[in-house]
Structure 1
Amino acid sequence: MTTTHQRRVAVVTGGSRGIGRATARRLAADDFAVLVGYAGNRALAEEAVAEIAADGGTARAVQADVADEEQVAAVFDAAENDFGGVDAVVNAAGRMALAPVAELDLAELDAVHRTNIRGTFVVARQAARRLRAGGTLVTFSTSVVGLAPPGYGAYSASKGAVEALTPILARELRGRDVTVNAVAPGPTATDLFLDGKDEETVARLAAQPPLERLGTPADIAEVVAFLASPAGHWVNGQVVRANGGII
């Protein structure tokens, strides 16, 4: 008797750049068909899809604002219609605004929270409804939540909300054989992290971990790939601080 192999399917928001792009490529290497979600830059998203195809993988780019319920539902519809279902959801879309609390423009606060809190919630709702048995949802926090550096109030508060949501959803999915975890990177060499930082600041942050370097998107993608694999399925309801050992 021949057993038909069912290809697993991943939805990766923020998949056109940085950690999301590295994660999409890494999951494709594990034979996931990947929906690359992107907010606005179609050219970057298509580059990500082309990279995956060049490696022998399968991917499609779909535009969606993660805070828009209808657009996010359409991404999941595409995954089901094109590839048959959803087995992994990685919400790597994020927004950052840095300023002291006393000086932060409240419009920036609203924008950060719309993407990072509402966006996580909207994606998580669809994941909770649609993930197949054996599947996983990976949300994104930040090690800044524990490190508490000045200037990160809005960003850290938004990611603290993600950390609060993650174990609750894991418990709500009891009986579904679906895991929910958050990955909390430390300083990682992405455009989002490097934007606005001078060389001295970057060097100081790179020296913080005992491993004495910045993380790379590939470092974080490996953690996500583990959580999305059968080997990582016993990890559930956790925040994984992938930061090279920063305390």
Structure 2
Amino acid sequence: MTPARLPRWILVLAAVGGLFVVLPLVAMALRVDWVHFVPLVTSESARAALLLSLRTSISATMLCVVFGVPMALVLARTSFRGQRILRSLVLLPLVLPPVVGGIALLYTFGRRGLLGGTLEALGVDIAFSTTAVVLSQAFVALPFLVLSLEGALRTVGTRYEAVGATLGATRWTVLRRITLPLVLPALISGAVLSFARALGEFGATLTFAGSLQGTTRTLPLEIYLQRETDPDAAVALSLILVVVAIAVVGAAHRVRPLGSLAPARPVAPALRRAVDTH
């Protein structure tokens, strides 16, 4: 493919923007104490924080998929009064400072929160627990999946679903055999990006879950604390987080380039299976 001809000033600005992103990462890598790198990133507190971050981020991503897929379907496939307001509220965590989200969660699920008293009466204490970490991460990561999947659903349209329904397939069969396979790349990419966002969550987690080693102290919180006492450890752990994030985002792009909405499998066989199943 012949590269597009662009004005030189576009290329210059693109190069400056790339340097703006890459240079800080290079500077951080140059600051790492490579002689003591392994002991710094394998200390007990570092390992506990990393394992907790991975475990809670996976749980938060599962929550995003369970609730985000239906939300995206409702926003993309239905029309009702107040839909724009609902979409704005769903995407609000994208623009809110994470600490504000943490405060909102605290006054919802905390002991003196909207639901906290009822939950406490049932013997459920969420605030400042590992569950609070998962909820904080899911709160800030959910819009990434909803936004990605809703855009994909609107792009592919409803023509294949209409054909399936015309051929006699039920709504559930159309959803399972046609709709979801069509947007599977966007769903996977959205889930991976939600995982990456959950992995890097800091403000909401600190506000709602606190910083208890082994319970709520995720890797970003560990980096923040180490920055005050051991800058070398903070830089080393930051590099680990950057590497993990790059690997996750790279995996999202390898599934299929973000924005590519070609069907994950041929549509005609999916329609035939939908009718046969029905």
Instruction: Name the structure, 1 or 2, with higher relative contact order (CA <8 Å, separation 6+).
Output: 2
TM-score normalised by L of structure 2: 0.26
Higher share in strand: 1
TM-score normalised by L of structure 1: 0.28
**Which has the greater radius of gyration?**
2
